[in-house]
Amino acid sequence: MVRTPSYDKNGLKKGAWSREEDDKLRAYVQIYGHSNWRQLPKFAGLARCGKSCRLRWLNYLRPNLKHGNYTTEEEETIIKLHQEFGNRWSLIAEKLPGRTDNEVKNYWHSHLKKSLKSNEMTPSELKSKPNESFEYEKSENLGANSGDIFPHILESSLARDNYLATTNAEEDGVPPLVSHKEFSGDFWSEPFLVEDSLDTFKDEIWSGKGMALLLPNFDGAYLF
């Protein structure tokens, strides 16, 4: 389900994100924010491009994200908004709290698109006939009323929940990240550094004369 990690010619890592990288990115963004995605990986100690970090944050690490288990209401909203806006996934995702454009897009392509292609029924209509067999795959030419699509979707959602149960950091026995507010106070003698001062800050760290930057890691701490 994830790409094999590899390195490009610039030494930047590509492919699946490791738990450690997730922790680093989450910690950094929650402390500093993400005013500059291009510079972020450098300061966060990640061998990733800014775009990759941004995508990972937006699609997976951002707080309040929902995964899997699309409700009938959400499915209907997606269908309705897609009719209205077309492939404007970010626009559609805005109307679905906790959902990302990437997730909506994937859900559309893997579930709703082919469902609607062969069946004009709404999700609620389909769910009201849960015992009908799932036939549309075998009978693409049958058109409307060719089968029950959504039981298949729900089954898939449950499968994804199982997947999440084993990969979700919090459910993995990892404590939730301390919020930015909780870091204020003793954690930083200088809690927030503006972009300009970061370079100096970093230089001092690398030269060994500065203080160590401790970012929270759930197995300890990151030391720059």
Partner DNA sequence: AACTTGAGCAACCGCCGAGCC
Partner DNA sequence: CGGCTCGGCGGTTGCTCAAGT
**Contact string 25-54 vs DNA (x = CB under 7 A):** ---------xxxxxx----------xxx-x
State the minimum distance, in angstroms, from the CB of residue 34 to DNA: 7
Question: Taking a C-beta distance cutoff of 8 angstroms, is the pair 67, 159 a contact?
Answer: no
State the minimum distance, in angstroms, from the CB of residue 197 to DNA: 17
- Based on the shown chain and the rule CB under 7 A, indicate whether residue 3 belongs to the binding site for DNA: yes
Using the contact rule CB under 7 A, the part of the chain among 9-17, 75-83, 118-126, 170-178 near DNA is 9-17
State the minimum distance, in angstroms, from the CB of residue 185 to DNA: 28
Question: Taking a C-beta distance cutoff of 8 angstroms, is the pair 215, 31 a contact?
Answer: yes
- Based on the shown chain and the rule CB under 7 A, indicate whether residue 137 belongs to the binding site for DNA: yes
When binding is defined by CB under 7 A, the residue of 107, 136, 150, 222 that contacts DNA is 107
Take residue 58 and report the two structure tokens written for it. 């937006």
- Based on the shown chain and the rule CB under 7 A, indicate whether residue 129 belongs to the binding site for DNA: no
- Based on the shown chain and the rule CB under 7 A, indicate whether residue 109 belongs to the binding site for DNA: yes
Start-to-end Cα distance in the chain:
32
Q: Which of 71, 170, 87 is nearest to 124 (CA)?
A: 71
Q: Rounded to the nearest 10 degrees, how much is the dihedral formed by the CA atoms of 211, 217, 220, 224?
A: -30
State the minimum distance, in angstroms, from the CB of residue 91 to DNA: 6
The answer for residues whose C-beta is within 8 angstroms of residue 9's C-beta and 6 or more apart is none
Take residue 91 and report the two structure tokens written for it. 């626009």
> Which CB atom, from 51 or from 129, has the smaller least distance to DNA?
51
Residues 143-182 that bind DNA (CB under 7 A): 152-153, 156-157, 159-160
In whole angstroms, how far apart are CA 113 and each of 119, 150, 212?
Answer: 10, 12, 51
In whole angstroms, how far apart are CA 56 and each of 105, 128, 183?
Answer: 16, 37, 23
State the minimum distance, in angstroms, from the CB of residue 3 to DNA: 4
The number of residues that bind DNA (CB under 7 A) is 47
Helix H, strand E, coil C: the string for 44-111 is HCCCCCHHHHHHHHHHHHCCCCCCCCCCHHHHHHHHHHHHHHCCCHHHHHHCCCCCCHHHHHHHHHHH
Strand partners, 223: 214
State the minimum distance, in angstroms, from the CB of residue 68 to DNA: 6
State the minimum distance, in angstroms, from the CB of residue 72 to DNA: 16
**Which positions lie near DNA, rule CB under 7 A?**
1-4, 8, 13-17, 34-39, 50-52, 54-56, 59-60, 67-68, 87-91, 101-103, 105-107, 109-111, 137, 152-153, 156-157, 159-160
